[in-house]
Chains A and B, each alone.
Chain A
Amino acid sequence: DTAVSQTPKYLVTQMGNDKSIKCEQNLGHDTMYWYKQDSKKFLKIMFSYNNKELIINETVPNRFSPKSPDKAHLNLHINSLELGDSAVYFCASSQDGRGFYGYTFGSGTRLTVV
């Protein structure tokens, strides 16, 4: 299946821990994104990579560090997790850097920090 896939689907962890979320797309798209959906269901962009290069870095704490080892993968590492980091994190991709053909989203990773 051609898709954007994220792992894990659920993540429950204690405050202060470090965790990673992985994302892979097999659509051949050039650009990948991380979005955060908070408790009020609002989706906001965090980061974007185009061909492994960071192109969008919104106001996100330094504890969040994205990494793109290749065009098909974009991972999100979070250090020193806080209660406020609890949210659903979505990975997305687009064929080009402007999103002319639209965006494809993964199924999300629900992160719960306790």
Chain B
Amino acid sequence: KQEVTQIPAALSVPEGENLVLNCSFTDSAIYNLQWFRQDPGKGLTSLLLIQSSQREQTSGRLNASLDKSSGRSTLYIAASQPGDSATYLCAVSMTTDSWGKLQFGAGTQVVVTP
């Protein structure tokens, strides 16, 4: 059974620092991995999608890496801003599932202080 863990559960950094968010999964037979952002009382916004054959994806200040063999993905956010304050969720879908479904971590709550 796949387990997705995100450490730390919460993180507070001053503005301008780089953010490093970790996601680990126990079963490496993933189909793809997606990082989301959730703002309080709002839905999930997709940040980056990494296919199982890829090592990383980049979008602006965001970079996500994937190491399937070690069961890890890391989301880097460069030069953090107060607007980056949110909960960040990683989710995986499995090759062993006939149909797609996401298995989520519990999230990392990020606060960026001005």
Q: Which stretch of B13-21, B74-82, B100-108 is in the interface?
A: B100-108
A17 to B83, CA, bound (A): 40
List, in ascending order, chain B residues with CB within 8 A of A4's CB.
43
> Is A15 in the interface zone, CB < 8 Å from B?
no
Contact A98 B104, CB 8 Å, known A103-B34, A105-B43, A106-B43: no
> Is B85 in the interface zone, CB < 8 Å from A?
no
* Binary contact track A72-111/B, C-beta < 8 Å → 1, others 0: 0000000000000000001010101111111111111010
> Is A44 in the interface zone, CB < 8 Å from B?
yes
Smallest CB gap from B101: residue in A: A45
How many residues of chain B are within 8 Å of chain A by beta carbon? 24
Main secondary structure of the interface of A (DSSP, over half): strand
Main secondary structure of the interface of B (DSSP, over half): strand
List, in ascending order, chain B residues with CB within 8 A of A92's CB.
44, 102
A41 to B49, CA, bound (A): 21
> Is A68 in the interface zone, CB < 8 Å from B?
no
- A107 to B42, Cβ gap below 8 A? yes
> Is B93 in the interface zone, CB < 8 Å from A?
yes
- A50 to B99, Cβ gap below 8 A? yes
* Binary contact track B37-59/A, C-beta < 8 Å → 1, others 0: 00001111110010100000000
Q: Which A residues contact B (CB, under 8 angstroms)?
A: 4, 31, 33, 35, 40-45, 48, 50, 55-56, 90, 92, 94, 96-108, 110
CB pairs A–B below 8 angstroms (16 shown)? A42-B106, A43-B91, A43-B104, A44-B104, A48-B99, A55-B98, A55-B99, A98-B93, A99-B31, A99-B100, A100-B51, A100-B100, A103-B46, A103-B91, A105-B45, A107-B43
